[in-house]
A and B are shown apart, each in its own frame.
Chain A
Amino acid sequence: MAAIWSNPDFQFVLWAMVKIVVILFTMLTVVSYMIYAERKIAGHMQARVGPNRVGPLGLLQPAADVAKLFFKEEFTPEGANKVVFTIAPMMAVIPALVTFSVIPFGPQDAFRVTDVNVGLLVFLAMSSLGVYAITLGGWSSNNKYALLGGLRSSAQMISYELAMGLSCIPVLLFAGSLSLMEITRMQGHWWFVATPFGMLAFMIFMITALAETNRAPFDLPEAEAELVAGFHTEYSSMKFGLFFLGEFANVITISCIAVVLFLGGWNGPWLPEALKFLWFFAKLGVLLFFFIWIRWTFPRLRYDQLMNLGWKVLLPVALGNILLTSAYLWWRAQG
């Protein structure tokens, strides 16, 4: 028995497992309270109160929501592709969770699962897998509204993924590394968002982030006014819950990446080294509020406006930004 505990492989796996469980439960809590925050903020923005019945200030509302979802009837439409119909909601959550393994929440080893030297690529890879959930969910439901929602989302996510990837490149040019840990360290004195190139890249990144997570004003895949509920029309109970969870988990993941790439990660003044991770969560909170704020402020884009914005505005601007950044770095290297 003692031999097992001192085995380095075993210790490695155990330590990773502990971190995964901690991250998973933190994530679930943050997601449920983000939903609460969204409803509360939406309420106040529309001169309502928002949920206030379950518990003090409605704070137990998320628990009630989850319990309700669990006890609802699980329904699979006739003519649906059963296997794909079941896999799709899982595909919505898994990529978002995998990305958390490379995000450094604080300067110490304990605050990250792993530091691979291609951390940013892991994020891009996982966000490119996210499109499967919606496409497959929409197709397998055997429902025309769901199919249209899935169709729209595939086109939207593929288009905006490109601009998102390109908007990260100026950061890479400055940092000279794909490791998220290294990128954070490079911003010890000067966050990337404070440079003109970084500012532009940050704006492009945030717009594409809204589109990648299918949040308003880019929520065409669900567009309830035209498509009933879009790709998740036929989903009920916890399968619907997983899509919901996936959307919010994606918002959190993408905000974490934005914090690391542009807002200096855990860097910040005053706090001692051991508490630096609080800076990370403060910045994350600001970005999450930004997502909710945008959603209840802007109307939804029309489909052709969406495509024009992605291909004719964001993509050329992101490419130009890369050129300018490279030119600036070359000029600086020349002295």
Chain B
Amino acid sequence: MTPALFIAFGAMLVIASLMVILHRNPVTSALFLVVAFCSLAAIYLLLHAEFLAMVQVIVYAGAIMVLFLFVVMYLNLKHDVEHGIHLALRRGAGWILGGVLLSEALWFFGRHWAAGPLAPEEAMATAGNTEAIGRVLYTRYLFPFEITSMLLLVAMVGAVVIAKGRGPHVERGRPPQGASGAPAAPADRQETA
């Protein structure tokens, strides 16, 4: 049954990914990206990577894409129509990069086209791969892991600073109790927008 499920989800992933770049309505594209993430999560499940599958849905489909959709929807983007030199440049860059990627892919497939086993036969122990990932993350990869979290923190502080703006505190005409702190700032702006 596993190969059949793999083919079904694989086909769904390929079609959804193609629709992401081919559809002209940005909201529809974003929704197809959500479908693509979910089918990718299903493929992870078939490979017994349950933790990765669920994190894929929580982080990408549940958090990042919601914010994407949020921005796309409320910027009220119409169908993308572009003219002139920008379009030509972008088209050219797209063709060149696509060509490079295609030739790379062909080269790799030509050299070793040996697919691994579809699903690893040795099922993980009952503790599962959550424990394995946690162990590796906090021993072998502790330094990169912590550095990544620092990087995210810096990005977050930067975003708050930019959102708040420089100079004296700007009164936003809201009730006095709600003198908003840093994290609430983006949401407040959305409300008043």
Q: Spell out A's residues near B (CB within 8 Å).
A: 9, 81, 83-84, 87, 116-118, 121-122, 124-125, 128-129, 131-132, 135-136, 139, 151-152, 154-155, 158-159, 161, 177-178, 302-305, 307-308, 311-312, 315
Query: In the docked arrangement, what's the CA distance between A158 and B188, Å?
Result: 14
A117 x B130 contact (CB < 8 A)? yes
Q: Does B70 contact A (CB under 8 A)?
A: yes
A136 to B73: give the CA distance in the assembly, Å: 9
Number of A-B contacts (CB under 8 A): 100
Contact: A118 with B177, CB < 8 Å? no
Let me know if A304 and B178 touch, CB within 8 A: yes
Cβ B63 vs Cβ A311 within 8 A = no
The 10 closest A-B pairs by CB, nearest first: A128-B62, A304-B178, A121-B54, A117-B128, A125-B57, A307-B184, A311-B183, A155-B187, A118-B50, A125-B58
Compute how far the CA of A307 lies from the CA of B53 in the bound complex, rounded to whole angstroms.
30
Q: B-side interface residues toward A, CB under 8 Å? A: 1, 27-28, 31, 34, 50-51, 53-55, 57-58, 61-63, 66-67, 69-70, 73-74, 126-128, 130, 174-175, 177-178, 180-181, 183-184, 187-188, 190-191
Partner of A117, one of B31, B73, B127, B191: B127
Q: A121-B58, A155-B190, A161-B62 are in contact. List 5 more A-B contacts (CB 8 A).
A: A135-B70, A136-B69, A139-B73, A302-B175, A304-B178
Give complex CA distance A270, B69 in Å: 51
**In the assembled complex, how far is the CB of residue A155 from the closest CB belonging to chain B, in whole angstroms?**
4
Give the dominant DSSP class at B's interface. Answer: helix
Cα distance A132–B175 in the bound complex, in angstroms: 30
The answer to whether B31 and A312 touch across the interface, beta carbons within 8 angstroms, is: no
Q: How far is the CA of A122 from the CA of B45 in the complex (A)?
A: 12
Given A135-B69, A307-B187, A308-B184: A128 and B31 interface contact (C-beta under 8 Å): no
The minimal Cβ–Cβ distance linking B9 to chain A, given in whole angstroms, is 16
Query: Contact at B188–A307, with CB atoms within 8 Å?
Result: yes
Q: Are A124 and B70 in contact (CB under 8 A)?
A: no
Compute how far the CA of A170 lies from the CA of B126 in the bound complex, rounded to whole angstroms: 21
Question: Given A121-B51, A302-B175, A307–B70 Cβ distance below 8 Å?
Answer: no
Task: Report chain B residues within 8 Å CB of A132.
Answer: 34, 66, 69
Alpha-carbon gap, A124 to B178, bound state (A)? 30
Q: How far is the CB of B25 from chain A (nearest CB, A)?
A: 8
CB–CB B174/A304 < 8 A: yes
Instruction: Using A158-B63, A178-B130 as known contacts, say yes or no to A84 and B27 having CB atoms under 8 A apart.
Output: yes
Complex: chain B residue closest to A7, CB-CB: B1
Q: From known contacts A117-B50, A117-B128, A118-B51, infer whether A154 and B180 are also in contact, taking CB-CB under 8 Å.
A: no
